[in-house]
A = this chain, B = another copy of it.
Amino acid sequence: MKQKPLILVTNDDGITAPGIRMLVDIMKEIGDVAVVAPDSAQSGMGHAVTINNTLTLEKVSIDPDLANEYACSGTPVDCVKIALSQILDRKPDLCVSGINHGSNSSINVIYSGTMSAALEAGMSGIPAIGFSLLDFSWNADFEQIRPFVKKITDEALKNVIPTDVVLNVNFPKLKTDEIRGIKVCRQAKATWMENFDKRLNPHGKEYYWLKGEFVNQDKGEDTDEWALKNGYVSVVPVHFDLTAHQAIKRINNWDL
């Protein structure tokens, strides 16, 4: 009998977040699951990695079905690195990250700890998928998207994700039967219009809270933003070669 796939599960909301617990639950139907996830919330950590501090790794048993479940003091990227180096005795067949509480569509992919963990796995040659639900709340209803997470994971294992590509999957906040299907998309061109809330602390010193407004400048109907707004699950294949290849020729005309 064929060996079950080994699936590494991580996230950025922390190991106890409902999103990762749902993802573990779905992955147990598909393969052997190992969890290495942050011991606290790590949202917005991007591709941060801990180089000037130490890391700890604590064996936990949140899900008694799992032999390998660890809480790590580091970032999502640290979790993937330490899982591959210290926990798993073979290369996993898949790494899944999430399910994130909140969107990682469009430019959010750059800031996302969820997607950075998936990208880190991809950079190590492991097929990887990041899952996010467009609902920031702790009590988001992940049950609604269960069949789609299962379907995409099954297809990714069956068809093989292209080399050096990682999937960024986002789900609209809808009921299962309201979701119109799955669309493979490009990343919409969008930005955050930054703003800061300036306040005074009790000692009269100024401090700031970052806030911002997401602005989609992209009218394309082939984007993740379009898909999500229109009731579809978006799947964006992303890569980690950041070279703007088409710009090389143009800059070669400069007098450098």
Contacts and interface: CB of A to CB of B under 8 A. Distances in A.
A237 B248 contact: yes
A230 interface: no
Contacts of A155: 254-256
Contact of A206 (B56, B165, B191): B56
A77 interface: yes
Nearest to A191: B123
B54 A44 contact: no
A187 B242 contact: yes
A152 interface: yes
Interface residues of A, number: 82
Interface in A82-120: 82, 84-86, 107, 109-111, 116, 119
Contacts of A194: 81, 84-85, 124
Copies in the complex: 2
A18 interface: no
Contact of A44 (B48, B185, B242, B252): B48
B251 A186 contact: no
Given A47-B46, A55-B208, A207-B56, A107 B86 contact: no
A37 to B, nearest CB: 16
Nearest to A185: B248
Contacts of A207: 54-56
Contacts of A244: 162, 164-165, 237-239
A164 B156 CA distance: 31
Given A57-B206, A184-B248, A46 B43 contact: no
A206 B110 CA distance: 32
A86 B208 contact: yes
A46 B44 contact: no
Given A44-B48, A86-B208, A123-B191, A184 B56 contact: no
29 contacts: A43-B52, A44-B48, A44-B49, A44-B52, A45-B46, A46-B49, A47-B47, A47-B48, A47-B111, A48-B48, A49-B210, A55-B196, A78-B210, A81-B212, A85-B194, A86-B198, A107-B123, A107-B240, A110-B123, A110-B240, A123-B191, A124-B194, A155-B254, A161-B251, A162-B251, A181-B256, A184-B248, A236-B243, A237-B243
Pick the 9 closest A-B CB pairs, nearest first: A46-B47, A237-B247, A239-B244, A46-B46, A238-B242, A182-B256, A237-B244, A48-B48, A186-B243
